[in-house]
Amino acid sequence: MAWTGSAKKTLDVGVVGLGYVGLPLALQIARSGHRVLGLDIDPDKVAAINAGKSYIRHVAAEEIAGARTTGTFSATLDFSRARELDAIIICVPTPLTKNREPDIQYIISTGRQIGPHVRAEQLIVLESTTYPGTTDSDLRGVLERLSNLKAGEDFHLAFSPEREDPGNPKYKTADIPKVVGGLTPQCGDFAMQLYTRAGLTVVKVSTARAAEATKLLENIFRSVNIAMVNELKIVFEKMGIDIWEIVNAAKTKPFGYMPFYPGPGLGGHCIPIDPFYLTWKAREYGVATRFIELAGEINTAMPRHVVTRLLEALSDRGKALKGAKVLLVGLAYKKDVDDVRESPAFALWELLHERGAEVSYHDPFVPVVPRTREHAQFAGIKSVKLTGNNLDTFDAALIVTDHTGLKYELIARHAGVTVDTRNACGRLPEWLRAEKVVKA
């Protein structure tokens, strides 16, 4: 069976889901000279793209406008246009349910929307992080049922995990190798061809399940190591040892070690979520995933540890947490991005509210709290200005995100006490750190 794109100089590619993963990928494919049709259920995103505007901070509007001018990129709400395309790449969210179980409803919903329009010799690639078997079982079942076609025989199906690192200028989409695995070897070959023609380096693995497992390994590796250093932070605190000094010393070893850093908890759309996709699937096979579950317990406990440290810092200064004015410094899940998905700042905010604190936040990348699935109660709250006069009114500043360029000395001098979860105040004068900064 052929792939319709094989004989074409210019491909027609659809990207479903125009968020932090889909939009950069769509622009990379368009830069390579192919025509890209973005498909999304959000009319605001579709309208922004067709107007040449960006809604993601690290994606330049000029890039979108340029692709619109050359005719290589457009967006639509009309999923029936999927039949026009040589390949369709699915980049939709895969969150967890309230019970910490995989929620693949967006994958299945996408399958239902494009399924009736899938045609013979088309290539479908899933990029959403998920458990092994999603592509060749769950998504395949929906597509086959609605298209009356057979995957691997009539159309091609593959998986290629997204590997975006928002806000990291060192690694753009074009610089990050793509792992691909197909339902059949031929499906894998055609997916490899798609990404190669989009200007990407491709690493082919044996199956879609192998590709799905690759992404899980990458993020479980990070989750476990972050949990380890978070646990060591608590141990070393009791011993009067600074974990940041230890990590910085250890990373001078040129082999056998790589640094991971402690923090107030895990954030983002990958590390707090993806490991649990494997723990859930492993139970189907009667296998316990103790490392993953222990890492999850440690990382999800960090916000409570931070609040305890804040309570102690206030108590040492004769102030109760109840009724205290607390400023969260940073709402995004990582430095220099506007992405608040799964940010530990929200867990901290809720814990502080429960204890009667009056909470505000400052984040230059997040001027207004967006609506999220789990923390809708904070939507619409605005970032306060970071001035000496404002800071003087706060009993404590809690540094959650170490954005570049924030005036940490101003914060430390004016807030009653600064609780630092990111070592953002590490370069301040020693006397100021000793008098006004507490590490957490």
List active site positions.
270
Burial (Cβ within 10 Å: 0-12, 13-18, ≥19) of residue 312: middle
Q: Rounded to the nearest 10 degrees, what angle do helices 105-114 and 140-147 cross at?
A: 20
Q: Token pair 């210019």 is at which residue?
A: 10
Q: How does strand 396-399 pair with strand 87-90?
A: unpaired
Structure tokens at 15: 């990207």
Write the DSSP assignment of 323-359 as a string of letters: T-EEEEE--SSSTT----TT-HHHHHHHHHHHTT-EE
Gyration radius of the chain's alpha carbons: 24
Which residues, other chains included, contact 161 with Cβ-Cβ below 8 Å and sequence gap of 6+?
127, 129, 179, 211, 212, 214, 215, 218
Nearest to 147 by CA among 117, 110, 106: 117
Q: Return phi, psi of residue 66, to 5°.
A: -65, -40
